[in-house]
Amino acid sequence: MVPPSSSMDPSPPPSWFTPKRLLIIFCVINMINYVDRGAIASNGVNGSSETCDDKGICKSGSGIQGEFDLTNFQDGLLSSAFMVGLLVASPIFASLAKSYNPFRLIGVGLSVWTLSVAGCASAFSFWFIAICRMLVGVGEASFISLAAPFIDDNAPVSQKTAWLAMFYMCIPTGIALGYVYGGYVGGHFHWRYAFWGEALLMLPFAVFGFLVKPLQLKGFSPVESKRALASVETVSSVTDDSKASKLDGRMLVGGDGIIGDELSKTSKSESIHNILNQLSRFAKDMKVLLVDKVYVVNVFGYIAYNFVIGAYSYWGPKAGYNIYHMKSADMLFGGVTIVCGILGTISGGFILDRMGATISNAFILLSGATFLGAISCFSAFCLRSLYGFIVLFAVGELLVFATQAPVNYVCLHCVRPSLRPLSMAISTVSIHIFGDVPSSPLVGILQDHINNWRDTALILTSILFLAAGIWFIGVFLHAVDKSNDGSQPVSTPRITSRKPLLDGNVDESLCEV
């Protein structure tokens, strides 16, 4: 029997999931993700290698670097190892969103994240913790690709950029809290306890992702509807088979007369066909993204920007400690980044909404804020005074973090809704594989070569001017907001049978299916 049409309609979203509650939950999850990044970069967790003075007296190392006796290059690889899993898994989760419920995929990712962070806490060698960091990236990939489209769907029309700003505010805030959290736990207890604490914080959300009734994304048909469509196709195929079987004087009911081997071969061929269809659809979607000039320019600017921000987040406390002899570099960098990250990111979102949330205005804000922020940060590292550095660097961070909401607004609105998960995934892959994945080890190599943290910081900061120039090109591109193109999900064809399905008397609506 075919399910009635009412059962094929998408279920209304759970009443408990108000837009504000969804935003709060996603913000907390995002915060924990980035607390982990800040914690592993903190002096309390990351630590330092063994040092020896001219007299041959050696001081033992601390944290991860000291326990596993890592060079600066190996230490930088831990950050890159995390990104490897993120890069590989992000497009996979984005593609799976067309076949599986995106909300459930987030639950799967958070479960992998929790187990992997617990693995970091129990690591016994450099390679073991490097592998665990890769799996942490795999776990985060589902959330990074799918959370922003959910927020964009549920945010009020006049505050979409502001809501994205609140979500991305958790990046600098989480990293800064991670500095403080890692420095405190690593300094007073042990670096392993920092990872155990993160795993416990994320565990309830991983369970939540499986237990709660899932939501649907705009531009995607519900998984239940796809299953109903599959059942309709099965009924149609069984009807056709019954006609053919009558020629042999047999009537097949529910496929009982089909030989097992033939059914197995059919199932395998269908699986291969589905995989090929998935790959073909992925290739077509990728082509759409790569020929979109607005999307490409936005991502190129984001790559240059993230190259600097990634190295700042990983080497910032250590550079500040060595340049200005800060006694509590974790706390100072953490405190400044928390305040500037919150104010800068939220201000960027609200300013774009006031300007008028368009792609062209987003590029204006991106290029202007990044250019002014680059000037402030570059001037800060030129100063010898600690207080002068703090003031200018804080102004620079305010301006630089104002780009977080606009850059992701462009990623979401320059493509049609069904491409948003893939758009976010490829953006994430690009900014990491060409941005902060190579930046941490490259800055480590540069510092090992010139042995001067001030010069290293100035060279790194100058790349922000490149990011501002690339985004300035986007101002002159013809940009169209495609966020409402094809927003209606593919609905399941409805069957209203008025005649009994006997002796080939098939209703015309079923034939159309």
pLDDT of residue 267: 63
pLDDT of residue 231: 42
Q: Could you write out the three-class secondary structure of 113-154?
A: HHHHHHHHHCCCCHHHHHHHHHHHHHHHHHHHHHHHHHHHHH
Burial, 157: exposed, middle or buried (Cβ in 10 Å; 0-12, 13-18, 19+)?
exposed
Domain that holds residue 110: 16-50+61-219
Distance of CA 460 to the CA centre of its chain: 24
* Domain-embedded: residue 509: no
77 phi and psi, to 5 degrees? -65, -25
Q: Does one domain contain both 316 and 443? A: yes
CA distance 160 to 413: 11
Helix, strand or coil, per DSSP, at residue 22: helix
Q: Does one domain contain both 214 and 316? A: no
Helix, strand or coil, per DSSP, at residue 54: coil
| CB distance 42 to 182 below 8 Å | yes
Identify the domain boundary among 165, 194, 219.
219
Element (H, E) at 55: none
Q: Select from 474, 464, 442, 79 the least CA-distant residue to 304.
A: 464
| CB distance 324 to 133 below 8 Å | no
* Domain-embedded: residue 259: no
Question: What is the model's pTM?
Answer: 0.66
Q: Does one domain contain both 353 and 470? A: yes
* Domain-embedded: residue 434: yes
Residue type present at position 335: G
285 phi and psi, to 5 degrees? -65, -40
CATH assignment of the domain containing 319: 1.20.1250.20
Q: Does one domain contain both 25 and 130? A: yes
Radius of gyration of the chain (CA): 27
Which residue ranges of the chain lie beneath pLDDT 70? 1-17, 43, 46-62, 79, 213-271, 273-275, 278, 326-331, 333-334, 483-513
CA distance 153 to 412: 10
Q: What is the pLDDT of residues 470-494, one digit of tens each?
A: 999 989 988 777 766 654 444 333 3
pLDDT of residue 289: 84
Q: Select from 432, 462, 468 the least CA-distant residue to 303.
A: 432
Domain count, the chain: 2
Structure tokens at 410: 């462009």
Q: Does one domain contain both 214 and 295? A: no
CA distance 154 to 150: 6
Q: Does one domain contain both 435 and 309? A: yes
* Domain-embedded: residue 412: yes
Q: Does one domain contain both 198 and 327? A: no
Q: What is the pLDDT of residues 141-164, one digit of tens each?
A: 878 777 877 787 777 777 777 888
pLDDT of residue 408: 87
| CB distance 21 to 161 below 8 Å | no
Element (H, E) at 52: strand 51-52
Q: Does one domain contain both 171 and 301? A: no
* Domain-embedded: residue 498: no
Q: Does one domain contain both 70 and 190? A: yes
Identify the domain boundary among 219, 252, 270.
219
CA distance 44 to 66: 11
The residue with tokens 């079987």 is 245
